Amino acid sequence: MLAHVESLRAWLRHLHETRRLMVLQDGVSPKFEVGEVVSAFQGDHAVIFPKPAGFDVPMVAGVLGNRRWIAEAAGVEPHELLARVAETIEAPIPWHEVDTGSAPTREVVIEGPDVDLTTLPVPTRSERDAGPFIDSGLVGAIDLDTGTQNLSIQRLQLFSRNRLGILMLPRDLAAIFSRAESQGRELPVTISIGADPLTELSSQAVAGRGQQELEIAGALHGRPLEVVKAITSDVRVPANCEITIEGRIRPYRRALEGPFGEFSRYYQPRALRPYIEVDAVTTRRNPLYRTILSYSAEHLLLGGVMRESTLLQRLKVVFPEALDLRLPLGGSCRYLAIAKIGPHHPGAAKNCLLTLLGLHNDIKQAVVVDDDVDIDDEEEVHWAVTTRFQADRDLVVASNTLGSPIDPSTDEGVGAKLGLDATVPIKRRSRFVVAFSTGRDDRGAREIARFGSDREAAIEELLGESPPA
């Protein structure tokens, strides 16, 4: 395990030592102001708010603010990240359970009537949000039928000192709760706030039902993840996290939750949804409150990287020529997919497009490019589309397809999918010879562009006024 990702604190220390951590002044408000500050620095600096206005618990945000940092936490180069994620999903490592007394998240225990979530600096991100939302909580739950444990990030509206509204999208946690509710059973849950970066990343894995994200976290770390049993249930939680909330989702009970500005930067409307009754909170001494602000780059990338890896592996099964895949920020890391493919037969790029559009409901637009295009460079992708794509030849449209229920442009989740083949036409390849110079990269170019020893004198000689005749 890399020492700097053993815990959130270790990662923050690493960011500090590499000049990527900013400590803000006291008094920044969790209502709107924190989000505005984090947005100003996202991708360049993580941010600590030592004393948010009205609270004693420090806030932390932006700790995985760009793709390079995520790769760094995983111990690989950015171009190796998707392969590393795929390896860990295929070879999870069982967790290691530690005693309660040795788990940092058990240093302080609060139960029953003493629980008060309003002492946490839970932020309000957007102007029309219904109130403060916990946006970084890793929700753990055990499938009461199979005994396997699920871990996922869900939005949690702070209703009161011991109650949280929860939105469960139609995935594993929702299915687990639905089965429990159909039997009239409560579902015990935990909410881990401030876990280490790789455990946060693992919670977003697109893995087979029954796979346990805490074991994927162990594989990302390269050794078993240390966990501790909850004090009110059998759910296991990361032993090193800052704050653990324990509670129950009771059957057949609903409360109005939302609206909330979602990852798409649109509000999802208010509706009757389940809620969590909180029974206990345990923390480190002097805990840090971790926030992952909605629709920030960090929020989008955490889910995007894990989806990219799984989608690429699935695409390769059908289309072995697939080399790489991105879900760019401009598509909310969900709605737009860009695939890079190697040499292929005529018509194969469209097959790739059709496969890609069908891999996940959320993908509503897809672009396929050749292997000479850098899919991390938006300008290169636009260049490929504008110079290689013809609408009457290279466009694919599929109507009445199932999309994302959060996409406001759909009709209750039903919409259309669009594909663009931006590869060079096989039979016209001779017309697409790309112009370039010597092939030097930026570093090589700088090596031959040496600065003169006396730049001031050179500038004066070149730009100075000519003496009068």
Domain membership of residue 185 as a residue range = 3-297
Is residue 231, in this structure, part of any structural domain at all?
yes
* Mean pLDDT of the 173-181 span: 96
Confidence of residue 413 (pLDDT cuts 50, 70, 90): confident
- 237 and 370 fall within a common domain: no
What is the arithmetic mean of pLDDT over 139-148?
Answer: 94
The per-residue pLDDT for 281 is 98
What gap in Å lies between CA 428 and CA 430, rounded to an integer? 5
Is the same domain home to 235 and 333? no
- On whether residue 42 sits in a domain, the answer given is yes
Question: pLDDT (tens digit, 9 = 90+) per residue, 312-365?
Answer: 999 999 999 999 999 999 999 999 999 999 999 999 999 999 999 999 999 999
Q: What per-residue confidence (pLDDT) applies to 96?
A: 97
Backbone angles phi, psi at 105, to 5 degrees: -75, 0
pLDDT value, residue 453 = 59
Residue 176's pLDDT is 96
How is residue 427 annotated by DSSP?
Answer: G
State how many domains the chain has: 2
Tell me if 439 is assigned to some domain.
Answer: no
* Same domain (yes/no): 202, 327: no
Mean of pLDDT over the chain: 92
One domain for residues 403 and 290: no
pLDDT of residue 460: 74
Least confident of 147-161, 300-314, 450-464: 450-464
pLDDT at 61 over 90: yes
pTM: predicted TM-score of the whole model, two decimal places: 0.90
Q: Is residue 147 assigned to a domain?
A: yes
Q: Which long-range contacts (CB under 8 A, 24 or more apart) does 217-221 make?
A: 218/92, 218/93, 218/94, 218/95, 219/87, 219/88, 219/89, 219/91, 219/92, 219/93, 220/74, 220/84, 220/85, 220/88, 221/1, 221/5, 221/93
Same-domain pairing of 242 and 157? yes
Structure confidence at residue 435 (pLDDT) = 75
Q: Which pLDDT value is given to residue 232? A: 97
293 and 342 fall within a common domain: no
Q: In this structure, are 224 and 267 located in the same domain?
A: yes
pLDDT, tens digit (0-9, with 9 covering 90-100), for 264-280 = 889 988 999 999 999 99
450 pLDDT exceeds 80?
A: no
Mean pLDDT of 136-145: 95
Residue whose token pair is 């999903």:
89
In a shared domain, residues 327 and 274: no
Looking at residue 106, the DSSP 8-state letter turns out to be G
pLDDT of residue 438: 61
> Which CATH number goes with the domain that contains 390?
3.40.1670.10
pLDDT tens for each residue of 367-400:
999 999 999 999 999 999 999 999 999 999 999 9
Average the pLDDT over 65-74 and give the result: 95
pLDDT tens digits along 428-444:
776 777 877 666 566 66
SS3 421: strand
- Do residues 269 and 391 both lie within one domain? no
List of residues 6+ apart from 210 with CB closer than 8 A: 143, 146, 148
Inform me whether the pLDDT recorded for 156 exceeds 80.
yes
Q: Is residue 456 part of a domain?
A: no
- CA–CA dist 404, 436 (Å, integer): 41
One-letter amino acid identity for 448?
I
Average pLDDT for 234-257: 98
- Statement to judge: residues 147 and 69 lie in one domain: yes
| 285 and 329, same domain (yes or no) | no
Residue 446 lies in a domain: no
Q: Is the pLDDT of residue 105 over 90?
A: yes
Tell me: do 332 and 275 sit in the same domain: no
Q: How far is CA 89 from the centre of its chain?
A: 16
Calculate mean pLDDT across residues 129-137.
96
Q: Is residue 440 part of a domain?
A: no
In a domain, residue 311? The reply is no
Check which CATH number belongs to the domain holding 25 and give it: 2.30.110.10
